[in-house]
Amino acid sequence: MYGGPITAAAAWTRLSSDLGSWYLQGFGVWAMQEKSDGEFLGTCGFWQGRDWPRELTWWLLPQYRGHGFAKEASLAAVHHAYEVLGWSAVETYMNDQNTQARALVLSLGGQKARRQGFPDGKERDVFIIPRTAV
């Protein structure tokens, strides 16, 4: 759903953005690892681009999808947002065609809060993940 594969330059830009988020905004994404063997699975955490709302986000390598890793990581991230960062709300959104992401959000107890226009010209449903999810 991110439109990959991407060029080396685009990957560098994405990595720089992900690392810079921690320094500039105080939040970002974490790398996910399989506990048993240390294998890299993907990322999960928070992202907010310029003029975009802050969101819970995740991505997994294809071979690790459908095993509950994104849900486990999302629950940990939501807990961190509410309990450590003190946020009053955790929101997320996705393209309408991303049915897998929508299913995950609903399994987290996500509730549609609104329909919103975004800087890329698309409209998306915005969901709130309640504190009770964790």
**Residue range(s) defining the domain that contains residue 18:** 8-133
Q: How many domains does the chain have?
A: 1
Is residue 3 included in any domain, yes or no?
no
Among residues 89, 86, 54, 57, which one has the least CA distance to residue 70? Answer: 57
Binning pLDDT at 50, 70 and 90, where does residue 2 land?
low
**Between residues 3 and 5, the one the model is more confident about:** 5
pLDDT of 29-63, one tens digit each? 999 999 999 999 999 999 998 899 999 999 999 99
CATH number, position 104: 3.40.630.30
The model's pTM: 0.88
pLDDT of residue 27: 96
Among residues 83, 76, 104, which one has the least CA distance to residue 92? Answer: 104
